[in-house]
Amino acid sequence: MKKLLYAIAVSATIFTGCSKDDDDQPIIKVPVQGEITGNITANRTLAFGNYTLKGLVKIQSGVTLTIEPGSTFTADQADGEDGLVVLNGGKLIANGTADEPIVFTAKTKLGGQWAGIIMYGDAPIVNSATATGTQTAKSEDGQDLSYGGTNAAHNGGSLKYVRVEYAGLVFNNNTREHNGFSFYSVGSGTVLENLVSYKGNDDGFEFYGGTVSAKNLISYGNTDDSFDWQDGWRGQDNTNWFAYQTGIANYGMEIEAKGVNNAFWPKATNITLKRAAGTTTESNSEKQYDAIQFKSHGNGDFSNIVIDGYASVESGFGSAVQIRDLATYTEQVVGGKIKLNNVKVTNTPVLFLSQNSGGAFTVNAASFGANWSVSTTATGASLTKGKWSTVDGLDLLANL
Number of folded domains that form the chain: 1
Rounded Cα–Cα distance for residues 138 and 175 (Å):
10
Residue 379 lies in a domain: yes
Mean pLDDT rounded to a whole number for the chain: 92
Residue 217 lies in a domain: yes
Residues in the chain, overall count = 400
Residues 6+ apart with CB under 8 A from 23: none
Spell out a b/e string for 23-33, using b for 16 or more CB atoms within 10 Å of the CB, else e: eeeeeeeeeee
pLDDT band with cut points at 50, 70 and 90 for residue 7: very low
In tens, the pLDDT along 98-113 reads: 999 999 999 999 999 9
Residue 5 lies in a domain: no
| Average pLDDT of the segment spanning 262-283 | 94
Residue 149 lies in a domain: yes
In tens, the pLDDT along 205-230 reads: 999 999 999 999 999 999 999 999 99
In tens, the pLDDT along 308-367 reads: 999 876 766 789 999 999 999 999 999 999 999 999 999 999 999 998 889 999 999 999
Residue 34 lies in a domain: yes
Residue 3 lies in a domain: no
Residue 1 lies in a domain: no
- If you write DSSP's letter for every residue of 16-57 in order, what string do you get? HHHHHHHHHSPPPPPPEEEEEEEEE-S-EEE-SEEEEEEEEE
pTM above 0.85, yes or no: yes
Residue 4 lies in a domain: no
Alpha-carbon torsion 350, 364, 239, 182, what sign?
negative
Rounded Cα–Cα distance for residues 203 and 314 (Å):
24
Rounded Cα–Cα distance for residues 322 and 342 (Å):
18
Residue 187 domain boundaries? 10-14+22-395
pLDDT band with cut points at 50, 70 and 90 for residue 14: very low
